[in-house]
Structure 1
Amino acid sequence: MDRLIYTAMTAMNAAMDRQRVVANNLANASTPGFRQEIFAVTPATLKDGSLEARALARGNVRGADMRTARVVPTGNPLDVALEGKALIAFQSPDRQGEIYSRRGDLHVAASGVLENGEGLAVLGEGGTPITVPPGFSVSLAADGTVLASDPAAPNVAAEAIDRIRLVNPEGSPLAKGIDSFLKVPNGGVLPPDPTARLTTGALEMSNVETADTLVQMIEAQRAFEQRAKIIATAGTLDEAGSGLMALR
């Protein structure tokens, strides 16, 4: 009976984790550049030669759905939508490496650092955050070059100060965790893509389909309830067995 309870409990934990992933996808249905997370449940069995009648469940985020989403014009010159499969390299929140995203709602922070809507610093070709000179106006070229011009000198051409680090995920391992960040496992980095291009004045939206995600949420909730019923049934069977033993 203990095996039945533990088996159902692991499946319940996996169903709960699936609900968290689906809820996170649903919460980011309107987040620019968001890639929905793919959740997978795998069986975990003990290889001891006995009959594998039951298997424990292990669930985790397998990766991200990298399909492109619709592009919406915004008119903001610092909004960018990436073409093809390219990704923008950002500095990780702990500043210990780089992470990747297609979220292109860029702006210049008060510190002069070029950031996206999550507050992540955009990395330049040298792997360091792009910083704009104080008071300068910023524009972006199709190849990711960052141009800065001094409003006090309107007759002076804009100067290139850096180029956004655009990378190519093709052929490289890419993982996505519960923190929603795309990373290369074990602290690796993606190679630069010199052919990558972006469209300014537009944003690529999330690729989460709201209706499908709502259905997934209902399915995850029902799966959790079914596991809970199994545990309740196991308790009932255990009580019945105890009662039969008491009759002896």
Structure 2
Amino acid sequence: MLRSLNTGVSGLRAFQTKLDVIGNNIANVNTVGYKKGRVVFEDIFSQTLRGATAPSASSGGINPLQVGLGTKVASVDNLFTPGSPTTTNNPTDLYIDGDGFFVVQNSSNERLLTRAGTFSFDSNNQLVNPDGMILLGIDGKPVKLPDDSVAFSIDINGNVKGFDKDGKELPGGTTIGISTITNPGRLSKVGGSLYRDTDPIIISNPKDKTVQLITGQLEMSNVDLSEELTDMITAQRGFQANAKIITVSDSILEELVNLKR
């Protein structure tokens, strides 16, 4: 069988994966806190038909003679470049100006990371995300308003303050924690614009990490639609070209079979 058949198949598989990732990026172009994916290809092992030889005193060296066997997906990376902020004027919507993630805790007490700052207060005066996961403060406890609060505020350092009906600040305020990741590429998506870390999550004070929390804004997806559509055209043409390799290889095999007639 021709090597080009398997080579073409490997190309089809790789470009299909690329189209899948591009399609997911486009579908999440308006998803709050979404980080786009990127497919990286690498070549497959090459068959060596003749090895290389070093030059000698009487003759020059010979370069290797190798035939590549196709391509494969090396990785699907998540790109954590910042998304554009959009104004909502909702006082519990938060935007992280700088590097870092909010830390939320699910019903299984698992800590997860997110850049999506869509929070609201539940019946216990705790800040939670749309899935009911609790936002954690710098002490690792839920971010909660003091009892009897009728109003509140969140400053750029993440300090959550409650006020009584007379406008007096109540004791017991908390500070929203953030987590900074030196290598965000190790994070894995778990849905809901949430990420799981392979290492224990360390919560820090935003002020200590030169991070500001902006209220009334949300971070939108970092997907560039024009870039994704251009990549989609490239991937489509790559898929078509590899399909053509299979078609041409099939025609050559048909000619070989017909030699017997």
Q: Name which of 88, 94, 106 aligns with 1:74.
A: 88
CA shift for structure 1 position 111: 8.1
Determine the C-alpha separation between the residues in 2 that align with 1:119 and 1:229.
50
Contact 1:21 1:178 survives alignment (8 Å): no
Task: Give the structure 1 partner of residue 241 of structure 2.
Answer: 226
Determine the C-alpha separation between the residues in 2 that align with 1:193 and 1:131.
17
Task: Give the structure 2 partner of residue 217 of structure 1.
Answer: 232
Q: 1:123 to 1:13 in 2, by over 3 A?
A: farther
Q: 1:154 to 1:136 in 2, by over 3 A?
A: closer
1:168 aligns with 2:168: no
Task: Give the structure 2 partner of residue 123 of structure 1.
Answer: 136
TM-score, normalised on structure 1?
0.77
Contact 2:93 2:118 survives alignment (8 Å): yes
TM-score, normalised on structure 2?
0.74
SS at match of 1:240: helix
Determine the C-alpha separation between the residues in 2 that align with 1:15 and 1:92.
36
Q: 1:210 to 1:130 in 2, by over 3 A?
A: same
- Give the partner amino acid of 1:7: T
SS at match of 2:102: strand
Task: Give the structure 2 partner of residue 22 of structure 1.
Answer: 22
CA shift for structure 1 position 16: 0.8
**Gap regions ≥5 residues in structure 2:** 51-64
1:45 aligns with 2:49: no
Structure of greater Rg: 2
Q: 1:202 to 1:15 in 2, by over 3 A?
A: same
Task: Give the structure 1 partner of residue 257 of structure 2.
Answer: 242
Task: Give the structure 2 partner of residue 144 of structure 1.
Answer: 158
Please show how residues 101-116 of structure 1 align to structure 2 within 5 Å.
Answer: 101-108=114-121, 114-116=127-129
Residue-by-residue CA offset, 1:62-95 (whole Å, 9 max, x unaligned) = 42222223222211011011011121123479x4
Q: 1:161 to 1:228 in 2, by over 3 A?
A: farther
- Give the partner amino acid of 2:16: M
Determine the C-alpha separation between the residues in 1 that align with 2:190 and 2:74.
12
Please show how residues 182-197 of structure 1 align to structure 2 within 5 Å.
Answer: 182-184=195-197, 187-194=198-205, 195=207, 196-197=211-212
Percent of residue pairs bearing the same amino acid type: 23
**Gap regions ≥5 residues in structure 1:** none
SS at match of 2:31: coil
1:64 aligns with 2:64: no
Q: 1:3 to 1:134 in 2, by over 3 A?
A: farther
Task: Kindly tell me the number of residue pairs found equivalent between the two proteins.
Answer: 239
SS at match of 2:13: helix
Residue-by-residue CA offset, 1:114-146 (whole Å, 9 max, x unaligned) = 333466543344556657799966653433344
Contact 2:39 2:76 survives alignment (8 Å): yes
Task: Give the structure 1 partner of residue 10 of structure 2.
Answer: 10
Contact 2:93 2:215 survives alignment (8 Å): yes
Contact 1:37 1:176 survives alignment (8 Å): no
Q: 1:241 to 1:27 in 2, by over 3 A?
A: same
Deviates more, 1:83-92 or 1:203-212: 83-92
SS at match of 2:23: helix
Determine the C-alpha separation between the residues in 2 that align with 1:35 and 1:146.
27
Residue-by-residue CA offset, 1:4-62 (whole Å, 9 max, x unaligned) = 22222122111111111111111111122222212211223168786541133222554
Determine the C-alpha separation between the residues in 2 that align with 1:82 and 1:65.
16
